[in-house]
Amino acid sequence: MALSDAPLLRALAGSRPDRTPVWFMRQAGRSLPEYRELRVGTRMLDACLTPDLAAEITLQPVRRHGVDAGIFFSDIVVPLRLAGVEVEIEPGRGPVFASPVRTAQDVARITAIDPASLDTSAIAEAVRIVVDELGETPLIGFAGAPFTLAAYLVEGGPSKEHLRARAMMHTDPASWNRLAGWLAQVSRTFLLAQRAAGASAVQLFDSWAGSLSPADYRAFVAPHSTAAVTGIDAPVIHFGVGTGPFLADMRLDGAASAVGVDWRQPLDEAAAVLGPDVTVQGNIDPALLTAPWPVIEASVREVLARGTAARAHIVNLGHGVPPETDPGVLTRIVELVHAEDGSRRGGAE
Ligand code: CP3
């Protein structure tokens, strides 16, 4: 089989391969004992910028689970670190910035950094190692969408409702647009580096977009997310959590080949909103992974059945793998999805 015939890439192009492709957000990470072992003594962002280590961590879940894609082991804040922004990832918490970007002056200072000047050589080297090892299995590159990055950067760290980033849109729209426009170019540089080094597709993570109203999403966020993926000559998957109220906008006017759906919205309903020109990705509830196997199996079968309503379907969770997940359960889900006939079409059963 050639890489171009890989089920993931065929599904992104809109066809239904015999085998429904499946991968998991955060498949590379703390649910794997071999990951925890490799990470001992190395800070998260240092691991991301050590090519051999990042490559090995990317490959671990592909070997173990037989998923249909690797997702590059890195983080949405890596390109900011490469831009010289002081950021660390605190275990159990998330990205924390030394200096939050809150005022017009803060925005002017950070946006003076040229997004094209990032040294992405460590990223490119890691991607090349991975792509070489993966052979006919595609690698998905990724980046953070401008709003999700801003949700951390404006606050200075993780927050619940991302109030400060949302407030900037209305208090000082010029600064907001300047910051989000800059973040789009930073993420775009990160995506271009992964693509140039051999990633077959890319995913834009707007994990916290669900905190926005549809009107704010359209006016202040979607144009910047579109800019982040403009000119990337690879299929784009666009993912967010809680985006049901503006799911159609997640297509980014055709820039996205696939839209990720969280566990709140049945895939057949999502497909009806998204229309015939987009592939759906999702949407097993991560909370189900600790349930007895028959419960998980029934839920995976239902996700597959509802996914037949879309032009094509990529199975995933509705959000990332929780760290305490038994990895054996993920392997079993992959086997179950692969045992089903992926070519079937129709609505929910
Ligand atoms: O397997 C994969 O999905 C690829 C690697 C990946 C990571 N982060 C590795 C990681 C990807 C695609 C991301 C993206 C990311 N990073 C997002 C968007 C996806 C999502 O989950 O919504 C966000 C919001 C971040 C920011 C971030 N980085 C958070 C919230 C955390 C968790 C903090 C914690 O300890 O709970 C991180 C750290 C992080 N990124 C880990 C991993 C494997 C954990 C690091 C560790 O081992 O301690």
Give tens-digit pLDDT for 275-317: 999 999 999 999 999 999 999 999 999 999 999 999 999 999 9
- The residue nearest atom 3 of ligand 1, judged by CA position, is 26
**What pLDDT is recorded for position 343?**
87
- Residue 71: how many CA atoms within 13 Å on its side-chain side? 23
Q: Ligand 1, from 36, 76, 88, 241: best to mutate by most atoms within 8 Å of Cβ? A: 76
> What are the catalytic residues?
26, 30, 39, 75, 152
- Residue 345: how many CA atoms within 13 Å on its side-chain side? 11
How far apart CA 168 and CA 82 sit, in angstroms, is 25
How far apart CA 144 and CA 134 sit, in angstroms, is 24
**What pLDDT is recorded for position 345?**
82
Rounded (to 5) percent helix, strand, coil in the chain: 50, 10, 35
**What pLDDT is recorded for position 349?**
45
The answer to whether 196 and 124 have CB atoms below 8 angstroms apart is yes
281 is in an annotated binding site: no
285 is in an annotated binding site: no
Binding site membership of 61 for ligand 1 (Cβ less than 6 Å): no
End-to-end CA distance of the chain: 32
**What pLDDT is recorded for position 347?**
55
Binding site membership of 322 for ligand 1 (Cβ less than 6 Å): no
Ligand 1 atom closest to residue 57's alpha carbon, by position in its atom list: 1
Ligand 1 atom closest to residue 94's alpha carbon, by position in its atom list: 33
319 is in an annotated binding site: yes
**What is the number of other CB atoms lying within 10 angstroms of the CB of residue 121?**
13
**What pLDDT is recorded for position 342?**
87
Regarding pTM above 0.95, the answer is: yes
- The residue nearest atom 37 of ligand 1, judged by CA position, is 94
233 is in an annotated binding site: no
Ligand 1 atom closest to residue 158's alpha carbon, by position in its atom list: 30
* Ligand 1 center from residue 46 Cα (angstroms): 14
The answer to whether 240 and 206 have CB atoms below 8 angstroms apart is yes
Low-confidence ranges of the chain (pLDDT < 70): 347-349
Beta strands 70-71 and 139-144 are parallel
